Structure 1
Amino acid sequence: MPLPSAPLSPRVLHISQPVDGGVAQVVAELARAQAAAGLDVHVACPDEGLLPRALRGAGGGVHHHSWPASRSPGTGLRAEARALGRVIDAVRPTLVHAHSAKAGLAARLVLRGRVPTVFQPHAWSFEAVGGATALLARRWERHAARWAARIVCVSEAERDTGRRAGVEGTFTVVPNGVDVDRFRPGAPHEARERLLPAPFVRAPLVVCVGRLCRQKGQDVLLRAWPSVTERVPGARLVLVGDGPDATRLRAAADPSVVFAGAAPDAADWYRAADVVVLPSRWEGMALAPLEAMACARPVVVTDVDGARESLPGDGRAHALVPPEDPAALARALAALLRDQALRDALGRRGRRHVLDHHDARHAAAAIGVVYRELLGAAPTNAANAAKAAEYRECTTP
């Protein structure tokens, strides 16, 4: 594969599969921020989903390249890798940033370190599977780490999980961030009137935002929910999202549960909630609790990677429960639903915490530092021609 000639500002190629959910949102926001900062930004991903829609709405500042790829590895991997190779040859990136397991697999197989490569797992692949498949995934991550110039983890816990699994490399922790202007406090009653049927507008309301899949643990939440409604009569639960477990979850739900489907913007759902819950089985650092706290809503989350780091220290006692523990989840939700003063206090603390520690602009700036460390200080406008030769030298392996 030919090496890229260095442009006067870095040409970054983000590669992503999935194209929905938190990973897609992180990639879209990062790409937009980098384009606004003067980088030449390209994104390779499938044509359908939240991510390509967000890129089409970015006003031309980010270049989208079609990369047909399924979410999971399979028999089509070889063809997907060839297709990605063609995108890389066309873009000629200075740096490649691969997001999540599938993109990290394909990108590192194609490049094998020939272009500086950042791999961001967004939760490790071996946590999503079990048995022999998990063993193979761990072996792959150990082997492929040599082809990543930097591994970016969204929490210290995610980094430590990788190291315990034997993944060796140069790690940088960049906590997830959210758009604190888009996710901001609002009037709960007005949000409910826009979103909910009349019987739900005044009911005690719990909202869960996330892909309907095993990772996010909505099945555990549905097992906990009858105990919540026993303690808090009239309580309602809304599941916002879609995914492979939708049919099974609907069959397990009682009439007090509403399935709202996927939402292009979940901000109003957070504002409508009395409590936001995410009972995940694994994460790197989930976005939904950060978004909810940015909207000044209290959260209940499972104590998986990134959860403790995403919460203000004085709110953890009320927010954290063990994973896969319906009884503990029910107790935490009921306690918050019955205590408005505590909910309001936790919401205020959460908003301050996100403003201080999880603003998306801070995350984009931290990723920029990683790029500069890998590439050297690159000029950001064409007039600075004196720096161009030095930059080319920095980017030539």
Structure 2
Amino acid sequence: MSRLPHGPDVRPPHRSGTSDLTALHVVQPVEGGVARVVVDLVRAQTANGMRVAVACPSGTPLAAAVREAGAEPYAWEAVRDPGPGLPRECRRIGELVRLVRPDVVHAHSAKAGLAARVAVRGRIPTVYQPHAWSFEAVGGTTAALARHWERWAARWTSRIVCVSDDERRTGERAGVRAAWSVVHNGVDVARFETETDPPIAAFDGPTVVCVGRLCRQKGQDVLLRAWPQVLAELPEARLVLVGDGPDGERLRAAAPPSVVLAGAVDDTAPWYRAADLVVLPSRWEGMALAPLEAMASGRPVLVSEVDGARESLPPGHAPHCLVPPEDPAALAAAMVRLLAQPELLHTLGREARQHVVSRFDVRRTGAAIAEVYRAVAGSPCPELREPISQ
């Protein structure tokens, strides 16, 4: 790490509020749940009078969306994974910090968290939001290195924001010692008002929809392995996979005729309205956004019991709506059981909508993040301490 650039010492004076603060979000990836979380947060922040800048790859839907939301987008041509371009990516963040002069740098996901913290090195308040820990996605030596980095980088982090208590506990078990805040993901509940527009498609039989990037994390391969058991009981059932990603070609090749692959879409809301049941069989999460969006649309969800899943569900829904991860048989049995009870699905969907409106409105998320910014911007930068040995 010694050849990477040193962070700029450009910390502005302390401020007590947030309407006069400047936040620089550093974001990679640029699609999926993380991007939607960032756009909703940026919109809430600009509506509250905050100056917001976003560093992300140019020419992407995220760059266009944050501009539309009132932020200042800046080109940061970063790829998802660490590689030989990392020093250049870090230097660019240093340039943007000197240009934007933010009061707070807010890095989203592992890659941005790596590059931003190396670039800034604690010289201005830095918030890191993992959106699920990187070491959960890998194994062996790579996972050990990722855990070591997260423990080390805590010295350059004013606050780690986790989207669930489960995610925080996962970090603590990995040896990450930091100041923590838990701020649940939120959704724009008005955007997912039920029945304001017709669904994008109508199917004759019971319809299951899965919204998410087509990748190992989201577990669509587990869903496809479970699907024949569902068809054996409910031959008219249909499954829709909404999204695209690195596993797209393989999943398309494995999908039977009863499965529709809709690809990437600009608006997921009509697809939720087309569903009788929304399923997300993830292998790991912090707190998945798609189930919150589905519940905001008045649709019941079935999710694997990973970090944040139980916290996101309404009281009493866990026995119906949670299954073990990577268990196609349990997933299929739960889908059949729920799809065979339309009245139960209706009740679960109605309660889900009420739950998200009261607990997961993005305005609550924005207010909680504002409290984090007030705390870190009004406090001295953390001492550069030695990492804790594990």
Tell me which of 182, 200, 203 is aligned to 2:191: 182
| Residue number in structure 2 paired with 1:258 | 260
Are residues 1:350 and 2:352 paired?
A: yes
* Contact 1:19–1:48, Cα closer than 8 Å, also in 2: no
What's the CA shift for 1:374?
1.4
Map residues 1-397 of structure 1 onto 2, 5 A cutoff. 1-6=8-13, 9-58=20-69, 61-186=70-195, 190-191=198-199, 195-196=200-201, 201-376=203-378
**More moved, 75-84 vs 281-290:** 75-84
Provide runs of 4+ in structure 1 moved above 3 Å.
4-8, 393-397
CA distance in 1, matches of 2:12, 2:211: 43
CA distance in 2, matches of 1:298, 1:95: 38
* Contact 1:302–1:321, Cα closer than 8 Å, also in 2: yes
What's the CA shift for 1:53?
2.2
The amino acid of 1:218's aligned partner reads Q
CA distance in 2, matches of 1:13, 1:187: 35
CA distance in 1, matches of 2:332, 2:196: 26
Shift in CA distance, 267/41, structure 1 to aligned 2, threshold 3 Å: same
What's the CA shift for 1:4?
3.8
What's the CA shift for 1:109?
0.4
* Contact 1:274–1:297, Cα closer than 8 Å, also in 2: yes
CA distance in 1, matches of 2:196, 2:34: 28
The amino acid of 1:276's aligned partner reads V
* Contact 1:176–1:363, Cα closer than 8 Å, also in 2: yes
The one-character-per-residue Cα deviations of 1:30-55 (angstroms, maximum 9, x if unpaired) are: 11111111111100000133311212
3-state SS of paired residue (1:108): helix
CA distance in 2, matches of 1:125, 1:97: 17
3-state SS of paired residue (2:160): strand
* Contact 1:6–1:395, Cα closer than 8 Å, also in 2: no
The one-character-per-residue Cα deviations of 1:309-363 (angstroms, maximum 9, x if unpaired) are: 0001211111000000000000111111111000000001101110111110000
**More moved, 179-188 vs 367-376:** 179-188
* Contact 1:16–1:100, Cα closer than 8 Å, also in 2: yes
| Residue number in structure 1 paired with 2:388 | none
Please provide the CA RMSD for this pair.
1.6
CA distance in 1, matches of 2:227, 2:9: 57
* Contact 1:24–1:50, Cα closer than 8 Å, also in 2: no
CA distance in 2, matches of 1:5, 1:180: 35
* Contact 1:21–1:50, Cα closer than 8 Å, also in 2: no
3-state SS of paired residue (2:102): coil
Provide the aligned length of Structure 1 versus Structure 2.
372
The amino acid of 2:207's aligned partner reads L
Identity between Structure 1 and Structure 2 (%): 60
What's the CA shift for 1:82?
1.2
CA distance in 1, matches of 2:61, 2:303: 24
CA distance in 2, matches of 1:86, 1:328: 51
Shift in CA distance, 370/250, structure 1 to aligned 2, threshold 3 Å: same
* Contact 2:185–2:289, Cα closer than 8 Å, also in 1: yes
3-state SS of paired residue (1:182): helix
The one-character-per-residue Cα deviations of 1:143-187 (angstroms, maximum 9, x if unpaired) are: 001110000000000000000000000000001110000012117
The one-character-per-residue Cα deviations of 1:109-141 (angstroms, maximum 9, x if unpaired) are: 011100000000000010011111000000000
Shift in CA distance, 3/56, structure 1 to aligned 2, threshold 3 Å: closer
What's the CA shift for 1:202?
2.0
CA distance in 2, matches of 1:202, 1:6: 62
The amino acid of 2:135's aligned partner reads F
CA distance in 2, matches of 1:238, 1:137: 34
CA distance in 2, matches of 1:80, 1:22: 23
Structure 2 alignment gaps of length 5 or more = 1-7, 384-390
CA distance in 1, matches of 2:290, 2:173: 26
CA distance in 1, matches of 2:238, 2:68: 34
| Residue number in structure 1 paired with 2:386 | none
The amino acid of 1:152's aligned partner reads V
Shift in CA distance, 7/46, structure 1 to aligned 2, threshold 3 Å: farther
- TM-score, normalization by structure 2: 0.92
Structure 1 alignment gaps of length 5 or more = 377-392
* Contact 1:94–1:395, Cα closer than 8 Å, also in 2: no
